[in-house]
Amino acid sequence: MAKNCWKARCAVANGIARVLRGLGQRVTSRIWRLGYASRFFLAILLHSGTALRRLHLTIREIYFTGVLSLIIILVSGLFVGMVLGLQGYDTLQRYGSTEALGVLVSLSLVRELGPVVAALLFASRAGSAITAEIGMMKATEQLSAMEMMAVDPIARVVAPRFWGGVISMPLLAALFSAMGIFGGYLVGVQLIGVDEGSFWSQMQASVDFREDILNGVIKSFVFGIIVSWVAVFEGYDAEPTAEGVSGATTRTVVTSSLAILAADFILTAFMFTGT
């Protein structure tokens, strides 16, 4: 009887130990991965000399991440702006202040929607492509082949993709915002008939260059770094199999989207609180 009881206690203790071990393992592996990602980031920065010296490598990546994302960014920007125009008008006309439509559309686009939605689209359009490309290069042992030929794959493959993304992102966000404001103008002024003069003049009176536009650009720049970093890291770290690459691509989109939203909250808390 006493012995049985002892055995049962032992089993419980073992079970708890197993759970704790599993937890500890997960935490340490997460931290290890984070550290690896940070070291990888430093390695990219150290090797970016090549990416900038052999500029055509980076230009090629700007073409693939930036130019090919133009269509989706422009069309989504236009539609987001048009929807903001319709919804904003619907709410503002209850208070008889439809002239403030320009302010509403431009501030929400320049401060938040432009950088954030453009970054989310960029993560799913370009980030996933970068991860898949680097992951496939790893799976087909092209990266190892480069190392064999004494070509550093971080300098030759990773850094140009990183910088291409970082350069493209602010430009895409600016295009998204501009297109969205144009969409708001189309719906608000041309379709509904808000006064054109007050639409633009109130917008200009309340949108500040440094406070609103520059902060939006800083945001999109930070998001560009986040998306590109996550994308190249997941690609480089992917398991060299078909499943590994597909898992890495999914992780890129999920991780970078969550990181964008979290970073957006932190940046907004620093930029737009207080007077």
Partner 1 sequence: MSRTTLDLWVGFFVAVGLGALLFLALKVGNMASSNSGDTYAIHAKFDNIGGLKVRGAVKSAGVVVGRVTEIRFDPEAYLAVVTINVDARYKFPRDTFATINTSGLLGEQYIGFEVGGDTAMLKAGDTIKKTQSAVVLEKLISQFMFNKAAEDGGNNK
Residues that bind partner 1 (CB under 8 A): 56, 59-60, 62-63, 66-67, 70, 106, 110, 168, 170-172, 174-175, 177-179, 181, 200, 203-205, 207-209, 212-213, 217, 275
Please state the closest distance from residue 209 (CB atom) to partner 1, in A.
4
By beta-carbon proximity to partner 1, the closer residue of 153 and 184 is: 184
By beta-carbon proximity to partner 1, the closer residue of 40 and 182 is: 182
**For residues 221 and 118, is the Cβ–Cβ distance under 8 A?**
no
**For residues 77 and 121, is the Cβ–Cβ distance under 8 A?**
no
Please state the closest distance from residue 154 (CB atom) to partner 1, in A.
23
By beta-carbon proximity to partner 1, the closer residue of 186 and 259 is: 186
Residue with tokens 């993560």: 123
Please state the closest distance from residue 44 (CB atom) to partner 1, in A.
21
Please state the closest distance from residue 213 (CB atom) to partner 1, in A.
5
Extract the tokens encoding 202.
């109130």
Cα 19 to Cα 26: distance, rounded to the nearest angstrom: 11
- Report the half-sphere exposure of 36 (CA within 13 A, side-chain side): 12
**For residues 130 and 231, is the Cβ–Cβ distance under 8 A?**
yes
By beta-carbon proximity to partner 1, the closer residue of 176 and 236 is: 176
By beta-carbon proximity to partner 1, the closer residue of 123 and 174 is: 174
Between the alpha carbon of residue 242 and those of residues 38, 110, 123, 222, the distances in Å are 26, 40, 21, 31
Please state the closest distance from residue 34 (CB atom) to partner 1, in A.
32
